[in-house]
Amino acid sequence: MIEIKNISLRLGDTQILEDVSLTMPKGGLTALVGPNGAGKSSLLSLIARLQPLQSGSISVDGLPVDTTPSRRLAKTLAILRQDPAVASRLKVRELVGFGRFPHQRGRIDDNDLRLIEAALQQFGLTDLADRFLDHLSGGQRQRAMVAMAFCQGTDYMLLDEPLNNLDMLFARQLMRDLRAAADKDKRTVIVVLHDINHAAVYADRIVAMKAGRIVADGAPAEVLQPDVLAQVFGYDMDVIDVGGAPLVLHHR
């Protein structure tokens, strides 16, 4: 379970997050949505202890993120940042293998090799495994980063806009993989999404943020209402029903 209690974040004169409290039980797929600058990424990086907490408290599986040793947390929680800087002269297989670092501190055994190959296969990277990352397209690199996060094998996965740069085929595939990770492996997945229709189909729960606050929280059918969407994104959009799932016509 992830417990977020009364956290606020100020950077300079800007209030990024204001008194956010949120509880996410173990299991399931939660989508964070909201306009640019709503504080979604900041919330994610605070949960993943990438930024120091200014006020309030966050715990993951009972481990307070500000005092638990980083290495201990890395076995429980994986984070994929938006646009991570990638070291050069690194092969895809090596990067994916780094996901095993929290468990092995660099000594890769047979079990790790199996997990690495499985992750490569799962994200369609087997043919690219020995290519250098700086020779790949943005989408291929993104897939390698996601594969590394999967390979970390943690109960909790936080992904910041993982669909960035992915084509439709791989975007759909990734959402299905995340769904499978939640259903089959009982992992807890929290994902920042801009494509609200992906959230509508694959998420169990949608948390909508705006200006550093949570403005709506519930099942997709509850959150994806015209009035709620207008409040969050600032313009009116139609929502139609397609086979029991809401489809937001946000582009018209």
Partner 1 sequence: MPDKRLLILAAVALAVAAAFMTVGLRGNIGFALELRAVRLLTLIQVGVAIAISTVVFQTVTANRVLTPQIMGLDALYLFGQMALVLTLGSVGYVALDPRLKFAGESVLMMAMALMLFLPMLRRRFDIGLLLLTGVVLGVLFRSLAMLVARVIDPNEFAVVQGSSFADFNTVRPDLVAIGLVVTIVAGAIIWRLRHMLDIVALGADSATGLGVDWTRALAGLLLLVAALVAVSTALVGPVTFFGLLVVALAERIIDSRRHRLLLPAAMLTAIIVLLGGQMVLQHMLGGAATLGVVIEFVGGLVFLAMLITTSKR
Given the complex with partner 1, which of 51 and 225 has the nearer CB atom? 51
CA distance 123 to 173: 8
113 near partner 1 (CB under 8 A): no
Rounded-to-10 torsion of CA 216, 219, 224, 226: -70
49 near partner 1 (CB under 8 A): yes
Given the complex with partner 1, which of 75 and 176 has the nearer CB atom? 75
Helix (H, G, I), strand (E, B) or coil at 59: strand
Q: Which of 152, 159, 175, 223 lies at the binding interface for partner 1 (CB under 8 A)?
A: 152
Given the complex with partner 1, which of 54 and 231 has the nearer CB atom? 54
Q: Which of 19, 98, 165, 218 lies at the binding interface for partner 1 (CB under 8 A)?
A: 98
Q: How many residues make contact with partner 1 (CB under 8 A)?
A: 32
Q: Which of 5, 81, 179, 194 lies at the binding interface for partner 1 (CB under 8 A)?
A: 81
Decide: residue 162, CB within 10 A, 0-12 exposed, 13-18 middle, 19+ buried.
buried
Q: Which residues pair with 130 in a beta bridge?
A: none
Q: Which of 10, 72, 114, 135 lies at the binding interface for partner 1 (CB under 8 A)?
A: 72
**Cα four-point dihedral sign 43, 45, 46, 51:** negative
CA distance 82 to 184: 26
- What is the contact surface with partner 1 in residues (CB under 8 A)? 45, 48-50, 69-75, 77-81, 84-90, 94, 98-99, 101-102, 105-107, 152
